[in-house]
Amino acid sequence: YGKVKGGNRVIEYNNQMSEKYNEILLLESDIRKAFQYNEFTLSYQPKVDVHTNEIVGVEALIRWEHGKKGMIPPSTFIPIAEEIGMIEKIGEWVLREACSQFVKWQSSGLKPVIVAVNVSAVELQQSEFLKRVKKIIKETGMDPNYLEIEITENSIMQNTEECIDRMNQLREMGISLSIDDFGTGYSSMGYLQKFPINYLKIDKSFIKELFSQSGSAEIIKAMIQLGHTFGLKVVAEGVEGEQILSFIQNQDCDYYQGYFYSKPVEPELIKEKLLAYS
């Protein structure tokens, strides 16, 4: 009897594995179709000066409105796209779209603000990445001084020297760099000194816990000080309320993003917000 049970367990396990595999295969063809059917769009979330409340930049965030399944969040499909070798194509599309958007905003007379794009660890690890960025900047007429690239700590922990070299080249082109989700990765503080970065983005998990988790306030304070010690500007992500905003104001954090100011929105709405300053 026990053997039969054991046998079933093996079969179940295999079924689960093939289910997972089927799901990935399905998404692979769906991701390809998403390009055909123009199902990807970019939303933009303002990055705001903590002290003046002015918009200093916008972060491009990909959205996938799947024909049958509705909205699929990037946290679901980006890791799959990385696995199946589709992230390069997505990353290229995102960068081109964001740069074109900047140029359109510029030609309608808006005050220029920095446009930030998230780049996956997989992309940053590829030597063709730089060429791709250069090509897109040239094709779109983007001013690289208004382009920011967001990367996570973990994406630089492999082949670190090579990544630093690549990052330096991006900086030489005028592009600025951020460490995204700071505090959730595995890098040591020493690396902050080595990475040619401009901004630290404190992960929203710390911000969310500010008033509920003891020690969170101290961690946030320490991260802001750490960033400033290394000459970086510090961004708080996930600011949802006024109390949190006044806390980071008092801690002299530089910029923030979050639902309190605005959710990620379509480009037309960003244009309206930017018009207020132009």
Segment (H or E) for 100: helix 87-107
CB of 4 to ligand C2E, least distance (A): 45
**Phi, psi values for residue 115, rounded to 5°:** -110, 120
Applying CB under 6 A, among 31, 48, 55, 62 the residue interacting with ligand C2E is 62
Helices (H) and strands (E) in the chain, counts: 11, 9
Applying CB under 6 A, among 36, 38, 75, 212 the residue interacting with ligand C2E is 75
By beta-carbon proximity to ligand C2E, the closer residue of 61 and 175 is 61
Applying CB under 6 A, among 140, 257, 270, 274 the residue interacting with ligand C2E is 257
* Contact status: 181 vs ligand C2E (CB under 6 A): yes
x/- mask, Mg ion, residues 234-263, rule CB under 5 A, reads: ---x--------------------------
Cβ pair 197, 232 in contact under 8 A: yes
* Contact status: 95 vs ligand C2E (CB under 6 A): no
Structure tokens at 205: 């998990």
By beta-carbon proximity to ligand C2E, the closer residue of 94 and 170 is 94
Q: How far apart are CA 246 and CA 256, in angstroms?
A: 11
Parallel, antiparallel, or unpaired: how do β-strands 70-72 and 114-118 relate? Answer: unpaired
Choices 1-9, 49-57, 115-123, 165-173 (CB under 6 A): range interacting with ligand C2E: 115-123
CB-based contacts of 216-221 (< 8 A; 24+ apart in sequence): 217/247, 219/183, 220/247, 220/248, 220/251, 221/251
3-32 residues in contact with ligand C2E (CB under 6 A) are none
The option from ligand C2E, Mg ion, none interacting with 74 (CB < 5 to 8 A, set by class) reads ligand C2E
By beta-carbon proximity to ligand C2E, the closer residue of 187 and 193 is 187
* Contact status: 156 vs ligand C2E (CB under 6 A): no
210-239 residues in contact with ligand C2E (CB under 6 A) are 237-239
Q: How far apart are CA 149 and CA 98, in angstroms?
A: 11
* Contact status: 153 vs Mg ion (CB under 5 A): no
x/- mask, Mg ion, residues 101-130, rule CB under 5 A, reads: -----------------x------------
The option from ligand C2E, Mg ion, none interacting with 258 (CB < 5 to 8 A, set by class) reads ligand C2E
Helices 160-172 and 129-140 cross at an angle (nearest 10°) of 20
Q: Is 49 left (phi over 0), alpha (psi -120 to 50) or beta?
A: beta
Give the residue among 211, 210, 194, 214 at the shortest CA–CA distance from 202.
210
State the Cα angle at 55 between 53 and 58, rounded to 5°.
Answer: 140
- Residues near ligand C2E, by CB under 6 A: 45, 61-62, 73-75, 78, 94, 118-120, 150, 180-181, 204, 237-240, 257-259, 264
- Residues near Mg ion, by CB under 5 A: 118, 150, 180-181, 237
